[in-house]
Structure 1
């Protein structure tokens, strides 16, 4: 099956229409791997295709008349019988229950009165969202038969974003490859009946709040960043060793948490600035906040001496209201330092990411119209507004964030991606190093909203 995985050695293929052969192979691989991981025998896997399960040509002629030939070819090859015969019920993936029923293929969006019937055939709900996740009006994965691209919709309310005329959709094989990558890294796990852990189980899938791969890659990126800075220091480091361990231990976090594991294994540093204007944190502004049992508070990893900027937005009645970068549990704390935070999460919730992080600046950026999130959206734009262009609104908390997630539910960007980009910036000479570490000070981040530098501050889309 390795030849079907999307890799540097096996990149996307130039095809007319959907690459149905590859997509069916990836779909079936997801089914097979989840099936065996959940303790089931391949001898009991019902490999009937979607087309066969729903009656074949004789029953599906009305749908076939509106489907692209390459989509039909995919549905003739993609396994579907397992989802109809498995007991207990079996979901295709954590976020998707399975391929959609024939009656619901086109129940996916609200069309304008001026759109004709031919355009209403364009968008196909190929997979149903997993209703067990509790989204309001769940939808699924929608496929565009004109561009032969797809995008995930946890809820039908997402369609105003995904169909705003600016959001970029992806080839279906990239989304399926993303699911397989989550399985490879242990972020989406199929488990058998012996599982008795605390992660929410959506038969047969669980989502750990972090994985060994997440931890190792974050540590590798942090070590690479430290080594890159040390190699460019004009002289020997002359500071006392500083450790993240002291920062995290003072927060009374579990040693088994991502933060506990990361700080315990992170190397010490003997210089001050790990990124422009940011050094190892010496305070935890949210340490005393009350949280629900098991929930994790925001944790400050790297700080500046300056206070965070307070973003605001205008209400329909004209008032300016504050926008907090944290959940309602922490909004009573209105003053906190600039820096990089591991953000709050419920490690046993539906969408847990213990390694999600957010960089908060002392000023808002984005007003120049260059700064972008990973999905290509301008900072602060109204992503629900329709049209080919949008108006930015300066924000202090959107740098490095993903925007609309093309694969799963939205979450804060993973720490490993930010640290890896910081290491790139030093190694490639985009950030200078002086005797104190990374130079430039906190004003350096304004580069993210300039024509010459914004690309260096936008991360690729990831799950």
Structure 2
């Protein structure tokens, strides 16, 4: 079934309706990959389709009348029997428990008062969300029968964002391909009964807080960035060495963490400016904050000489209330450098991502209405409000972030994507290089909110 994977050589196909043949093949491949990785034999995989599981044409004709023919064709080819025969239970994927029952296909959406009955038939909840992730009112993967696109919802409350009229839904096969890519890279991992680790297990899936590939690809991106700068410097690099590994001792990092593995293996550089106005960090502002055992503090990687901007939000009673990019127990520290931070995480929690990062600027941007997150939303977008976007709200923490993530829940942008993007900016001449490294100073980031340059600072959607 691997020939159905979506690649540059095998791109999306032009078909009428849903590409049901490809989507069913990708669905079944996910089932097969999870089944075998969890230690089960393919001989024991019950390949009964969803359609067969619920009685076939005789029982399902009332439902078929409300479904697009291409969706019916998908349900006639997608395996579903495994969900009823497997012991222990077998979830389809980390975020999705399995295909919905016929009665749940139209029951889970939270419509506004302006939605009529005809429009309610437009949206089909194909998969139920995995309730074990702790979301309030879990929903699932919803398919739009008018545009033949889909969107994953962990909670029913996500519909305020996904149905605001501005979010871009994706072809269903791209979402399934994203799941397979996560399996390929070990981001979502099916495990067998011998697994005795601390990761939360949703049979058979765990989600490691980072993978070997995450570390290796982040190191490759840093190497590429450093090499791009050094080859463009006027004259030989200086003699002063700058080391990311200096942050290890002050951060009290354990050797089995992503931050430790990246910092200790990252190459030394002989220039000071790694990006406009940013250098390798010389301090760890949150190192003194007490945290629960096993959790990880924010780690400052690249710092500005200026402090981070303090974003605020107007409360209903008129007061400007501070908005912190960090959880409550870090908010006692109000002065800290602008720069790039690996964000705090619980490596054994439900959303355990150690390689997520934030770039926090010393000023807010977005007021010009050009800066956007990966999902296309303006900075400060009131995402739960329907209709045209309201006036943008300047902020200091959304540059490079995903916005509403189509693939994965609660994951700040991966550090490797930021470093790779920085390397491209140098290689393509969009950032100049001088004797100190990347030129331009901290004001350079204001380009992200200009008509000519905003696209240079928007990363594509990723998981």
Relative to the length of structure 1, the TM-score reads 0.99
Q: Report SS of the residue matched to 2:251.
A: coil
Distance in 1 between residues matched to 2:281 and 2:257, nearest whole Å: 18
Q: Which residue number in structure 1 is paired with residue 219 of structure 2? A: 219
Cα displacement (A) at 1:391: 1.9
Q: Which residue number in structure 2 is paired with residue 275 of structure 1? A: 275
Count of matched residue positions in the alignment of Structure 1 and Structure 2? 463
1:70 equivalent in alignment to 2:70: yes
Q: Which residue number in structure 2 is paired with residue 202 of structure 1? A: 202
Q: Which residue number in structure 1 is paired with residue 253 of structure 2? A: 253
CA contact (8 A) 1:239 1:272 kept: no
Distance in 2 between residues matched to 1:238 and 1:219, nearest whole Å: 22
Q: Which residue number in structure 2 is paired with residue 125 of structure 1? A: 125
1:146-195 Cα deviation digits (max 9, x unpaired):
00000010000000000000000000000000000000000100000000
Q: Which residue number in structure 2 is paired with residue 295 of structure 1? A: 295
Cα displacement (A) at 1:114: 3.8
Q: Report SS of the residue matched to 1:250.
A: helix
Q: Which residue number in structure 2 is paired with residue 397 of structure 1? A: 397
Distance in 2 between residues matched to 1:430 and 1:123, nearest whole Å: 43
Distance in 2 between residues matched to 1:65 and 1:40, nearest whole Å: 37
1:99-118 to 2 correspondences below 5 Å? 99-118=99-118
Cα displacement (A) at 1:387: 0.2
CA contact (8 A) 1:46 1:85 kept: yes
CA contact (8 A) 1:229 1:426 kept: yes
Distance in 2 between residues matched to 1:154 and 1:413, nearest whole Å: 19
CA contact (8 A) 1:370 1:454 kept: yes
Cα displacement (A) at 1:113: 3.7
Cα displacement (A) at 1:415: 0.2
Relative to the length of structure 2, the TM-score reads 0.99
CA contact (8 A) 2:342 2:357 kept: yes
1:75-110 Cα deviation digits (max 9, x unpaired):
000000000111111100000000001001012323
Q: Report SS of the residue matched to 1:77.
A: coil
Give the superposed CA RMSD.
0.8
Distance in 2 between residues matched to 1:351 and 1:14, nearest whole Å: 36
Ranges in structure 1 where 5+ consecutive residues have no aligned partner:
none
Distance in 2 between residues matched to 1:124 and 1:249, nearest whole Å: 52
1:8-50 Cα deviation digits (max 9, x unpaired):
0000111110000000000000000100000001111010000
Q: Which residue number in structure 2 is paired with residue 459 of structure 1? A: 459
1:224-373 to 2 correspondences below 5 Å? 224-373=224-373
1:377-396 to 2 correspondences below 5 Å? 377-396=377-396
1:177 equivalent in alignment to 2:177: yes
Q: Report SS of the residue matched to 1:74.
A: helix
Q: Which residue number in structure 2 is paired with residue 150 of structure 1? A: 150
CA contact (8 A) 1:404 1:410 kept: no
CA contact (8 A) 2:2 2:29 kept: no
Distance in 2 between residues matched to 1:2 and 1:53, nearest whole Å: 25
CA contact (8 A) 2:110 2:156 kept: no
Distance in 1 between residues matched to 2:330 and 2:82, nearest whole Å: 45
Distance in 2 between residues matched to 1:306 and 1:319, nearest whole Å: 26
CA contact (8 A) 2:223 2:267 kept: yes
Q: Which residue number in structure 2 is paired with residue 188 of structure 1? A: 188
Q: Report SS of the residue matched to 1:274.
A: strand
Cα displacement (A) at 1:248: 2.2
Q: Which residue number in structure 1 is paired with residue 33 of structure 2? A: 33
Q: Report SS of the residue matched to 1:153.
A: strand
Q: Report SS of the residue matched to 2:325.
A: coil
CA contact (8 A) 2:125 2:142 kept: yes
